[in-house]
Chain A
């Protein structure tokens, strides 16, 4: 089902942000909407968005491929993305990530067996003063978790597993 049929008001609101002859500008917000459905963007969504914007599905796929927050494969329900860039590493981010992986029993890039958490190392999230930190990305959006310890993070993971929903 097309996003335009499923969420007509929301699509209309997005399109209204841009000049009528520049509707291609809506590709990024529409991709975020599509990603909300299953946590990744499938081929049907590429076609749907391409049709709405009068561009080719290849042009939409280009955007998915270029920007790191769009995903074309299913991974864990929550992507836990730990910043390990230099200022964070100077505050112990590498050690944090290593210990977190050991606690979760996965390596960086892997998903826990229950399919809940994919752990990733990412570049700068602009929170250098609050490391160790990570963001959790799900189809529904993003949240930052700053000044974290492994214990605090494992509590968060337990809560996610229990409720299936993110709690801050």
Chain B
């Protein structure tokens, strides 16, 4: 099947305005603005079953429908802060199929009554932001952005905003704080961004991949979109495959593709032909899946992965083979989350600090039952107590590694470190 999101793999120059137009580009936006009411656009997206691709999997159309019509102005913010170990899909979309993403931003803005949209990119995506600025300028020139679009009263402007190296800004309320020129500290919710978002106004925040789906849904309809994927998870998904595989990379596949197909058929198998030991299906914040035959043959959709005791999240699949010891892996994930904890809430700030100290002890020769139990206990105590998901994320790998791979935490097990 031709790619729907990574369309540049079939049409290499889709990032050029004339080529994008020749391939149906901006027809969906024009159709929405000229022939549909904002509510109708939201209804189509709702009916399509599209769910947020950033990790939470919340139904996109439902999110849009939360925007109240008695508080103005409204804002749309695209979350392009992709920063979690294992994630690298949004950059490819923005770099190679930029107009489809930007058209998605435009349609989301029309549907929610926003006249200004911001794209929040992580600071490291500086060249991507410069590139998008050029593409936005081309859209203005071609009449897709600006005042009185397509001869209607609707006006829209899109701006990029660069972060500066803080994973926490991928959390939507921290992201809003960052655009407001503050430190990226998550807000206490409620109120939710749909009511009190950017500058205290109703705001929709969607992931880049989510938005890239929108033009196709408006163009081809909800039923077409629902016919792809599974009953629980409509459409296609970009699976980012990394870790110990021969061909890591992004693979756009229907929901319901199995782990085995992704790893062996698309990823060309495990490095050095080793067996898969564990899978992290959603980046560093994942629970570990024990990679037995049942797990490998599990279809990757939200419900099926949940039944394995994990979440599909952003579908950033990290493959771990039998040469790797999981105490080393969680040493890495803990270090990441400790570094990125914003320090606002105590359970996360102190919890990640103590988890790091304990895993360092364990890694440095004190692999005792007491230290492993204490690490587990600290992680457990953090769960359900943190202000935002970051703190929660930091514990998932820790608790599930100890629960599901107890042998890796026995004193007799050494090595398995990776260079």
Report whether B248 and A66 are in contact in the complex, using a CB–CB cutoff of 8 Å. no
- CB contacts under 8 Å to B, within A80-115, are 85-92, 94-95, 98
Say if the beta carbon of A156 comes within 8 Å of chain B: no
Choose among A63, A95, A98, A128 the residue that contacts B86 (Cβ–Cβ < 8 A): A128
Say if the beta carbon of A45 comes within 8 Å of chain B: no
Say if the beta carbon of B123 comes within 8 Å of chain A: yes
Contact bitstring A52-77, B, C-beta under 8 A = 1, else 0? 01010000001100111110000000
Stretch at the interface among A2-10, A19-27, A157-165: A19-27
- CB contacts under 8 Å to A, within B144-200, are 159, 161-167, 178-184, 199
Stretch at the interface among B1-9, B43-51, B237-245, B353-361: B237-245
Say if the beta carbon of A150 comes within 8 Å of chain B: no
Report whether B86 and A68 are in contact in the complex, using a CB–CB cutoff of 8 Å. no
Say if the beta carbon of B83 comes within 8 Å of chain A: yes
Report whether A24 and B123 are in contact in the complex, using a CB–CB cutoff of 8 Å. no
Most chain-B CB neighbours within 10 Å: which of A19, A66, A70, A124? A124
Report the minimum CB–CB distance from B118 to chain A (whole Å).
8
Provide the bound-state CA to CA distance between A144 and B86, in Å: 17
Report whether A86 and B336 are in contact in the complex, using a CB–CB cutoff of 8 Å. yes
Say if the beta carbon of A127 comes within 8 Å of chain B: yes
Q: Give the chain B neighbours of A127 by CB distance below 8 A.
A: 88, 91
Q: Give the chain B neighbours of A62 by CB distance below 8 A.
A: 182-183
Say if the beta carbon of B249 comes within 8 Å of chain A: yes
In the complex, the chain A residue whose C-beta lies closest to that of B318 is: A87
Residues of chain B at interface, number, CB under 8 A: 54
Chain B residues touching A, majority SS: mixed
Report the minimum CB–CB distance from A159 to chain B (whole Å).
19
Say if the beta carbon of A152 comes within 8 Å of chain B: no
Q: Give the chain B neighbours of A69 by CB distance below 8 A.
A: 123-124, 164-165
Report whether B179 and A25 are in contact in the complex, using a CB–CB cutoff of 8 Å. yes
Report whether B336 and A25 are in contact in the complex, using a CB–CB cutoff of 8 Å. no
Choose among A68, A90, A124 the residue that contacts B244 (Cβ–Cβ < 8 A): A90
Say if the beta carbon of A143 comes within 8 Å of chain B: yes
Most chain-A CB neighbours within 10 Å: which of B83, B85, B122, B182? B85
Report the minimum CB–CB distance from B15 to chain A (whole Å).
18
Q: Give the chain B neighbours of A94 by CB distance below 8 A.
A: 418-419
Choose among B85, B91, B178 the residue that contacts A85 (Cβ–Cβ < 8 A): B85
Q: Give the chain B neighbours of A123 by CB distance below 8 A.
A: 85, 167, 335-336, 339-340
Residues of chain A at interface, number, CB under 8 A: 44
Report whether B333 and A28 are in contact in the complex, using a CB–CB cutoff of 8 Å. no
Say if the beta carbon of A148 comes within 8 Å of chain B: no
Provide the bound-state CA to CA distance between A27 and B199, in Å: 15
| Given known A-B contacts A22-B199, A85-B284, A87-B86, A32 and B162 have beta carbons under 8 A apart | yes
In the complex, the chain B residue whose C-beta lies closest to that of A70 is: B164
Provide the bound-state CA to CA distance between A114 and B91, in Å: 34
Say if the beta carbon of B395 comes within 8 Å of chain A: no
Provide the bound-state CA to CA distance between A129 and B335, in Å: 20
Choose among A19, A25, A87 the residue that contacts B85 (Cβ–Cβ < 8 A): A87
Report whether B164 and A124 are in contact in the complex, using a CB–CB cutoff of 8 Å. no
Q: Give the chain B neighbours of A27 by CB distance below 8 A.
A: 181
Provide the bound-state CA to CA distance between A89 and B323, in Å: 13
Report whether B419 and A95 are in contact in the complex, using a CB–CB cutoff of 8 Å. yes
In the complex, the chain A residue whose C-beta lies closest to that of B199 is: A22
Report whether B199 and A67 are in contact in the complex, using a CB–CB cutoff of 8 Å. no
Q: Give the chain A neighbours of B164 by CB distance below 8 A.
A: 28, 31-32, 63, 67-70
What is B's interface to A at a CB cutoff of 8 Å?
82-88, 90-91, 122-127, 159, 161-167, 178-184, 199, 240-244, 248-250, 284, 316, 318, 320, 324, 329, 332-333, 335-336, 339-340, 342, 418-419
> 10 smallest A-B Cβ distances: which pairs?
A95-B419, A67-B164, A68-B165, A24-B181, A129-B248, A86-B332, A128-B242, A69-B165, A27-B181, A69-B164
- Beyond A67-B164, A124-B336, A142-B127, 18 additional contacts (C-beta under 8 Å) are A28-B162, A28-B164, A66-B183, A68-B164, A69-B165, A86-B85, A86-B318, A87-B85, A88-B85, A90-B318, A91-B243, A123-B167, A124-B85, A124-B167, A125-B124, A129-B241, A130-B248, A141-B126
